[in-house]
Chain A
């Protein structure tokens, strides 16, 4: 009877979770949907406390209290710029929970001598994927938080070595399915999982982190699915499947936005050895034309339509608020201002939107690449703030460029372009940018925050 009740609670929770994901299709319904999902979580957890296997509550309470204490700052205090590493960190947590449950369940069934092949397959996957996600996510966290060097770390025969190690892990998995009571092999799978996680993220550079974080999301989901199979728990299977689907969809979207295949991201070590060489070979010719702040401000102030192209440089300089002030001033003068958001503008999918929304910029001004690209033609000024690769025309024209084929924002179709840039260096991928030396482009050098503040001050005077 209690079992049926718990299952029904899980069913309700699953429905509410799916409902929440559906509500995320619109900004105005999203918040409500997620509150319902939180309610669903509460129902599921409350029902689980009635489970007949539970005989003592003290450890549950201790764990929950500690978790809540860790979770609160992770939810309330982490700044929006740190979202990518915050998400990577949570993937590690989620995967660790799945892995530990897998090990605990193995120990339990081992003790009872009731390990079956089916359960063993699920437990093996759970532990392998879980362990891989734990260390992989921690590596991604370290790179994004800049505790570890962001550039790719490579060594000879790296891909071969990683694949061989992974193959060994899969072999171990098959082994424990056949001989479930070989504890040492089960332990070996854990260790291999942990190692593979470190090794696969090690050669991946900072620019590719959005793909990695999304992919780890998918792995964490699959680990949850395996947990569900092992424990015969349908809500875990449902949620894991949702999580996995979300992770894969986002990874594909990110890969597409960078015009790279999964395999290329995972095995490419982009921007390490080959990138800069090719870039110098294709090298942009010509000189950049500098512009003074007052000239740039006048151009903006007397424009009809302005599109701002924010890049990661904007977030690094913490200049979102200055950008919003500039937009407010321009709008007061009747200028139509939009933001062009490239899918990889931030360090994770959709990151730039969150950063701009935090600064109080209305989301109907934040336009996705596909929708805004046709608007550039009728735009007087395109203001590029700290973006580089996502506006590089070489992605369309130069076949030898490492970013060739990447979808870009059509900034060069605007009547004039002003680029705010820290210095004269190349972008994140080490590629020169033809846009910066084009006749219609002028460069405003300096820190993005300072430049935007001064632009705002000048617009006020204009």
Chain B
């Protein structure tokens, strides 16, 4: 095993531990936003896709990279938007006690 791989393993295990700690504290109330949020964040594979799409290695790599950029970008944009939309509802539900605005907005 190379030293890089060992460092990577360190990062993985510690990040998993932090993730476990943080996520067990998320109440069931917010589990759906949590899933949408991790979905959005996992769009970080965009950074790997960008390098592949822009490296101009071969036609195959460029095509695969471009599709990957599209997929990851869709997750980033869609994921953050829908998470924000949901969390805004939890804000709003608190703010407008009677929820008049909410009922006016939805059909």
Contacts and interface: CB of A to CB of B under 8 A. Distances in A.
If over half of B's interface residues share one DSSP class (helix, strand or loop), that class is named, otherwise mixed; here it is: helix
A409 interface: no
Contacts of B4: 232
Contacts of B94: 27-28, 362-364
Interface in A29-60: 30-31, 34-35, 37-38, 41, 44-45, 48-49, 51, 53-57, 59-60
Nearest to A21: B22
A321 B71 contact: no
Interface string B31-43: 1111111111111
Contacts of B54: 51, 53-57, 59-60
B24 to A, nearest CB: 6
A447 B27 CA distance: 31
A358 B89 contact: yes
Contacts, number: 398
A75 to B, nearest CB: 3
Q: Which residue among B74, B92, B96 has the maximum number of chain A CB atoms within 10 Å of its CB?
A: B74
A238 B12 CA distance: 6
A375 to B, nearest CB: 17
Given A107-B61, A357-B90, A243 B77 contact: no
A46 B77 CA distance: 15
Nearest to A130: B45
Nearest to A349: B31
A68 B15 contact: no
Nearest to A365: B93
Contacts of B34: 21, 24, 246, 250, 349-350
Nearest to A63: B69
A262 B31 CA distance: 19
B103 A321 contact: yes
Query: B interface, how many residues as a size bin?
Result: 35 or more
Contacts of A55: 54-56
Contacts of A228: 8, 12
Contact of A363 (B44, B49, B93): B93
Contacts of A325: 103
Contact of A90 (B15, B39, B91): B39
If over half of A's interface residues share one DSSP class (helix, strand or loop), that class is named, otherwise mixed; here it is: helix
Contact of A94 (B24, B25, B42, B93): B42
Contacts of B67: 63, 96-97, 100
Contacts of A93: 71-72, 74-75
B74 to A, nearest CB: 4
B106 A359 contact: yes
A209 interface: no
A131 interface: no
A105 interface: yes
A108 to B, nearest CB: 5
B38 A221 contact: yes
A349 B69 contact: no
Interface string A225-266: 101110111111111111111110110010000000000000
Given A75-B80, A363-B93, A368-B29, A104 B50 contact: no
B35 A214 contact: yes
A104 B73 contact: no
A241 B66 contact: no
A94 B68 CA distance: 8
Given A13-B44, A87-B39, A351 B15 contact: no
A238 B11 contact: yes
A386 to B, nearest CB: 18
A54 B72 CA distance: 18
Interface in A208-234: 213-214, 217, 220-221, 224-225, 227-229, 231-234
A34 B100 CA distance: 26
Nearest to A79: B106
A76 B85 CA distance: 8
Contacts of A236: 44-45, 47-48
20 contacts: A10-B47, A21-B22, A21-B34, A28-B91, A28-B94, A38-B84, A51-B50, A71-B73, A71-B78, A83-B36, A225-B12, A235-B47, A245-B16, A350-B30, A353-B31, A353-B32, A357-B93, A358-B102, A360-B102, A361-B99
Closest A-B pairs by Cβ, 5 of them? A67-B73, A75-B81, A360-B99, A360-B102, A350-B31
Interface of A: 10, 13-14, 17-18, 20-22, 24-28, 30-31, 34-35, 37-38, 41, 44-45, 48-49, 51, 53-57, 59-60, 62-64, 66-68, 70-76, 78, 80, 83, 86-87, 90-91, 93-94, 96-98, 100-101, 103-105, 107-108, 111, 118, 213-214, 217, 220-221, 224-225, 227-229, 231-247, 249-250, 253, 321, 324-325, 328, 341, 343, 346, 348-351, 353-354, 357-364, 366, 368
